[in-house]
Structure 1
Amino acid sequence: MANTLPTLLLVILLSQSADGARTKLHPNLAASDGICQSMVESQGYVCEHHKKPDKPPVLLQHGVLVDSVTWLLNSPDESLAFILADNGFDVWIANTRGTISSLGHTSLSPNDAAYWDWSWDELVAYDLPATFNYVHAQTGQNMHYVGHSLGTLIALAAFSQKKLVNMLRSAAMLSPIAYLGQMSSLLARAAADAFLAEYTYWLGISEFIPLGDAAAKLLKVICDETHSNCADLVTAFTGKNCCVNNSKTGTFLEHEPQPTATKTMIHLSQMIRWGTIAMYDYGSKFENNQHYGKPTPPVYNMASIPKDLPLFLSHGGQDLLSDVKDVKTLLATLKGHHANKLVVQYRKDYAHSDFVFGVNANKLVYDPLMAFFKLH
C-alpha cells in the first residue's frame, strides 16, 4: 500500500469591513500559506489552501459523442470557456459519464456491461444534479449554465421536474434539443430507424463506440440507404456549418468522437421516431410497468419549466439536429414564460457545430450570452 498522508483543506474567507476595507489580520497570519506550513504541515499532514471565489460560476455541459474539449478547441478569444474566464466568470466544465475523462465508478469497470446500463434519463436524475451540487458546494454560489445539444436536453428535462432551479441564476441553451420528431438530418433519421429496427442487437452492445466495428457497419448501411455523401460526416449529420475553423479538424479528431451508452442512442432514436420527449421506453408494457408503474414512459413536460427561470435560447437555420420546427415546438410550450426572462436568438446561417466551434460565435452568440448572464 502506498504511504499517503491525510489531507486537510484550509478554506480562507476574506471578510470586509463596512467601508469595504479588508479586515486587518495579525501580521504573522497575513499569508494563508503560513497557516498550512506552520500549523498543519509541521505536524506531518498535507494541507491545501482554498479561497472561495467571488466570481459568478458558470457550468458548461457538452453534447453527445463528444467531451469538454468542445468548449476549448478554438483559440482563447474564440472559445466560450476562455471568453467567460476573461470576462470575470468562474468556469466549470463537465464531462459526461462514459467519455474518456469520466470513466470512474465505485464498483464497476467500463469493461462491464452493467457500467453502460443507462440512458440520458440517468444524466437527468443523477449526474447533472451531482454536478450542480458539487459546483454549488465548492463556490457557495448559484450558477449560470450553458448546454449544447444533449447538454440542453438533460437540463430542460431536469428543469421540467423543478430540479436544479434553486441553484441557478440563468441557463443558456445552444442548439436546444427537447423535441426531435421533425429533424431534417437524413443520416440521423436513418440511424434512428436502424437502432429501433435492430433493438435487440444493439442492446447486446452496451457501449456505443463511434469508431468501433458495429458503428462502422451501421454507418455503411445508412450511407447506402440514404445515398448520402459520407465523406463529410459532420455536415451530413449536423448541417452545413458556416463558420467552423477547418484548421482545427485535426485537433478535434484527436479527442472526438467519444463513446456513450447504447441505451442513450436508442433513447434518442425513440425521440426521433415518435416525436416525444419522454423517459426511456423499455419496449413492452410489462417492462415499463416494472420501471415506471405504468405501461408507457413518463413524459418530461416542457410547459412545467418555471416561468420565471431566465432562459437564453440560440438556434440556427442550417441545423439538421436542432431543427427549426422542433425548436418552434419547444418555444410553443414556453409561450407562458415571463417575457423578460426569455431571450431567443436565431442565426439563419448557423448549423449545429457553429455554436461551439464557430470562429465568429464570440461576437454573434457569446457576447449576447454574457450580457444576458450579467443581467441575472
Structure 2
Amino acid sequence: MSWVVNSPSESLAFVLADNGFDVWIANARGTRFSSKHSSLDPTRPEYWNWSWDELAAYDLPATVDFVHGQTGQKLHYVGHSMGTLVALASFSQNKVVDKLRSAALLSPVAYLSHMTTLLGMLAAKAFVGEMTTLAGIAEFNPKGRDVAEFLKALCSDPAVDCYDLITSITGKNCCLNASTVGFFLKNEPQPTATKNMVHLAQTVRDGVLSKYDYGTPHFNMAHYGQPRPPVYNLTAIPNDFPIFLSYGGQDALADPHDVGTLLDDLKLHNLDKLTIQFVKDFAHADFIMGITAKDIVYNAMLAFFKRQ
C-alpha cells in the first residue's frame, strides 16, 4: 500500500513503471496481504514467533530469488524505513547482493538511539520493560482491542498528540496531502509480531544493530552459542555495491544523527558507488507520500538507477 497511496503521477510504483521498469511490490509477513503459511495459522502464537531477523535471513532473500527467477535479471531494490533495516541486515550477511544491481534506501533505519518521536520512545520503553503490558499477545495488531488499549495508555501522556498520529510517529512532515494521509491510516499500520516490536525496541535501547536478544545469557547461548546476540556488521556490505541513500532533516524516526552512524559504517564504500541525498525539510512519511517526493527524490533515484 505504501508505494501506491498517492496519485499515479506521485506514487513511486507508478513513477517507476512509467519509466520502463517492471515493478514488483512485496509485503512483510503478517500483514493482511501476506498472512498465509504452509503449516501455521495466524491465530496461533507460533505463527508470530519472528522478528526482523527472519525478514532479513529468509523473506527478503526468498522475494529476490523469486523475482530473479521469474525475470532472469538482477533487481534494483527500494526500501523505506523497516524495508531499509531488513535490507542492510541482509546485505551485511551477503544474502542477496549477488542478485541486485543496486539498492535505494529511503529514510534508512539502522540505528535508533537518537529517535525523537515521543510516542516511539514511550513504546520502546514499554516493549523492553519485560513486556508486561502485552504479555502473552503474540500478534501486534494496531487495530486490535489489546493493542488499542496499549496505545491508548501511551497516548494518555500529555506530551503525545495522538490526534496527529503521523506526526507523533514520524516527525513533522512538510509535504503530505491530507486526503492521502486519511487513506493511508485506513490501511496502515498493518499487523506485525510483538516479538518484532520488542526487537526494534532493543535496537533503540542498546544502540547497536544486533540479532534478537532473548533476555538472558543462558537463552542467548541456546540460540546463538554466545551470551550476547551477534551484531550485524554493516561494514561487511560490499564496498562496490551501488547504494542510493536519501534522508530527511525533520525525520523523528530515522534521525540524521543515526543516519550519520550508518554513513560512518559505509565510509569505506567506493565513492562512485554511494549516492547520498539530504532533504532538509523532509520527515519520515514525506519519502513515500510527499507530493514533492517525485521531483526531489524519485527523479534523483531514477538517474541513479540508469547509471547502474
Taking structure 2 as the reference length, the TM-score comes to: 0.98
Q: Deviations over 1:129-168 (max 9, x none)?
A: 0000000000000000000000000000011111101001
Q: Which residue of 1 aligns with 2:131?
A: 199
Give the equivalent residue in structure 2 for 1:181.
113
Tell me if the contact between 1:194 and 1:218 (Cα under 8 Å) persists in the aligned partners: no
Q: Distance in 2 between matches of 1:248 and 1:169?
A: 32
**What is the match of residue 41 of structure 2?**
109
2:255 counterpart residue number: 323
Q: Counterpart in 1 of 2:60?
A: 128
* Mapping for residues 328-343 of structure 1, pairs under 5 Å: 328-343=260-275
- Partners of 1:347 and 1:340 lie apart in 2 by 20
SS class of match (1:312): strand
Could you tell me the percent identity over the aligned residues?
58
Select 2:200's aligned residue among 259, 268, 277: 268
The 3-state SS of whatever aligns with 1:368 is: helix
Structure-to-structure mapping, 1:134-213, within 5 angstroms = 134-199=66-131, 201-213=133-145
The answer as to whether partners of 1:191 and 1:218 remain within 8 angstroms in 2 is no
Matching residue's letter, 1:141: Q
The CA deviation string for residues 242-297 of structure 1, in whole angstroms up to 9 with x for no partner, is 11111223322332221000000000000011111000000111110010000100
SS of residue in 1 equivalent to 2:186: helix
Distance in 1 between residues matched to 2:186 and 2:172, nearest whole Å? 22
Deviations 1:199-246 (A, max 9, x none): 255351000011222222222332334622221111011001111111
The one of 293, 296, 300 aligned to 1:364: 296
Q: Which residue in the other structure is 1:350 paired with?
A: 282
What is the Cα deviation at residue 173 of structure 1? Answer: 0.2
AA of the residue aligned to 1:103? S
Q: 1:358 to 1:337 in 2, by over 3 A?
A: same
Aligned residues: 308
* C-alpha contact 2:180 2:289 (8 A) present in aligned 1: no
CA displacement 1:62-121 (0-9 Å, x = unmatched): xxxxxxx11001111100000100001010000110000101111111111100010000
Contact 1:186 1:226 in 2 (8 A): no
Aligned to 1:300: 232
CA distance in 1, matches of 2:109, 2:39: 33
Residue matched to 1:85: 17
Indicate the residue corresponding to 2:152 in structure 1: 220
Q: Counterpart in 1 of 2:167?
A: 235
Give the Cα separation in 2 of the matches to 1:221 and 1:361. 34
- Among 228, 233, 245, the alignment partner of 1:313 is 245
* 1:244 corresponds to: 176
| C-alpha contact 1:152 1:177 (8 A) present in aligned 2 | yes
DSSP 3-state at the match of 1:283: coil
Q: 2:141, 2:190 within 8 Å by CA — same for their partners in 1?
A: yes
Q: Is the 8 A contact 2:134 2:150 kept in 1?
A: no
What are the ranges of 5 or more consecutive residues in structure 1 without an aligned counterpart? 1-68
Q: Which has the higher contact order (CA 8 A, sep 6+)?
A: 2
Equivalent in the alignment of 1:100:
32
Q: Which has the larger radius of gyration?
A: 1
Q: Which residue of 2 aligns with 1:26?
A: none
Between the aligned partners of 1:105 and 1:234, the Cα distance in structure 2 is 31
**Is the aligned partner of 1:278 residue 2:192?**
no
TM-score, normalised via structure 1 length:
0.80
User: Hey, what's the Cα distance between the residues in 1 that align with 2:135 and 2:208?
Assistant: 21
C-alpha RMSD over aligned residues: 1.1
Between the aligned partners of 2:71 and 2:57, the Cα distance in structure 1 is: 22
Unaligned runs of 5+ in 2: none
